[in-house]
Copies of this chain bind each other. A is one copy, B any other.
Amino acid sequence: MDTKTFRRLGHELVDWIAEYRDRMGDLPVMSPLEPGDVKRLLPSQPPAKGEGLAGLTGDLDRVVLPGITHWNHPGFFAYFPSNSDLASVLADLACAGLGAQGMSWQTSPAATEVEEVVMDWLRQMLGLDAAFTGVIQDTASTSTFCALLCAREWSSAFGQARGGMQAEEAPLVVYASDQAHASVEKAALLAGFGRNNLRLIGTDDQHALRLDLLERAIQEDLAAGRRPCAMVAAIGTTATTAVDPLEGMGRLSADYGIWLHVDAAMAGTAMICPEARWMWKGIEEADSLVLNPHKWMGTGFDLSAYFTKDPEHLIRVMSTNPSYLHTDQDGQVKNLRDWGIPLGRRFRALKLWFLLKDQGVEGLQARIRRDLANAQWLKAQVEAAGGWELMAPVNLQTVCLRHVPAGVTDEDDLRAHNLAIQGRVNKGGRFYLTPSVLKGRQILRVSIGSAATELSDVEGLWKALLDAAAAV
């Protein structure tokens, strides 16, 4: 495409995005399409001849938009948020336009050095001490995978340079709570530990890992000749934002020589507000840490922040050093290809830079505090209303609740009833909730944190829940 056409279509697309964002609140938050609806709008064969991109925004309106679930919608209360602030959209545009590769320092020094600077800004914003060094990964799944690979190689004295996991005589074991995100299990399995060597430790009535059970499991594994390797502390679990006992886990990590990884994918963003840092008291004992600015902070997916206390170890796990990747600056600079799984790297640091320059730390703090207050508002409504139960502590921006009609005690009935409420709310188009099962009980999980969501939207959701409970 020539630059003249790009200018014309680029302006058109920028305007289309602005209009989309302006009217997003009027669109149904969850796509109402049925499977196959998008596919049938596209030809089954690739275009032989180029048609140009005139009509681009028409295609987006016709083929794409009906099939979009609007993650930046004010009525998005599903999963965890995935905010894509418009400052970050500009950064993605700049990144694509530059088309630079950040695999080595020399392949675009700015990509590496801006990342170094903004990841250190982020470290400071979070109140982390200078022992931590940050690098951008794509997702928390990948970051946690990197952490378990680092733990594996640390416990095995770099077994990968010899016989790998296949030569380990005493199995290495990974520990997390039964509320840990599925990515922990996935990472442990992909890293070769095997499900038999993953311990999902029971949780207390706040849904936090029980230290006594963790220590007992460690001792049992040691007694059986297995080797405790890594533990993952969830600071803000996915279901309820439960907070594992990080200080106690840090002590066990030190006592038994076990790698401590902290999964604060969602909650980490809140740590830019000092009053939230009680949640990860003891964080200085962690060996590695992940949080996702692409969730609540607004940098746009994907930008997962991985912090490590031992970058040299990470590099040793991840690096290969073929001649075709050597540059004159090796040894003086960071080559970020050696800090993760992929070789190539986009210039994602621009997203964090643009966002921070635009809003400043104080701007981000104000939005986080708004969301925390909105969650407390909803919690108060649930507690005050008859027939509603709060299902977990409200530590962060997620409120777990359910409706219990008078006289109904059977869990299957309650499950069906609450799923019916959720279905009715979702069908209304203004709000989107996703289901969660908490220790066998069906809950309604309200995750607040879309940048567009104001108190009035939370009020609207609460009214919709009350109406749905009365109607089903």
* CB <8 Å contact, B110 and A63: yes
The yes or no answer to A254 lying at the interface (CB within 8 A) is no
Q: Which residues of B contact A362 (CB under 8 A)?
A: 48-50
A-B pairs, 10 with minimum CB distance: A164-B194, A67-B110, A84-B99, A192-B192, A17-B97, A10-B14, A165-B192, A165-B165, A46-B121, A92-B96
Q: Which residues of B contact A33 (CB under 8 A)?
A: 109-110
Q: Which residues of B contact A445 (CB under 8 A)?
A: 324
The yes or no answer to A206 lying at the interface (CB within 8 A) is no
Chain A, range 97-121, C-beta contacts under 8 Å to B: 97-101, 105-111, 113-114, 116-118, 120-121
Q: Which of B101, B113, B294 contacts A301 (CB 8 A)?
A: B101
Q: Which residues of B contact A327 (CB under 8 A)?
A: 434
A/B interface sample: 20 pairs, CB < 8 A: A1-B86, A17-B94, A17-B98, A35-B329, A38-B110, A59-B357, A63-B114, A69-B109, A70-B100, A71-B100, A82-B101, A93-B93, A139-B344, A160-B194, A166-B168, A166-B194, A182-B320, A302-B342, A324-B445, A326-B435
Decide: A344 near B160, CB < 8 A? Known: A71-B100, A95-B92.
Answer: no
Q: Which of A86, A159, A436 has the most CB of B within 10 A?
A: A86
Chain A, range 319-341, C-beta contacts under 8 Å to B: 320-327, 329, 332-333, 341
What are the interface flags for A284-305 relative to B under an 8 Å C-beta threshold, 1 for contact and 0 otherwise?
0000000000100000111000
Q: How many copies does the complex hold?
A: 2
SS class, residues of chain A in contact with chain B: helix
Complex Cα distance, B11 from A16, in Å, reads: 12
Q: Which residues of B contact A4 (CB under 8 A)?
A: 18
* CB <8 Å contact, A52 and B113: no
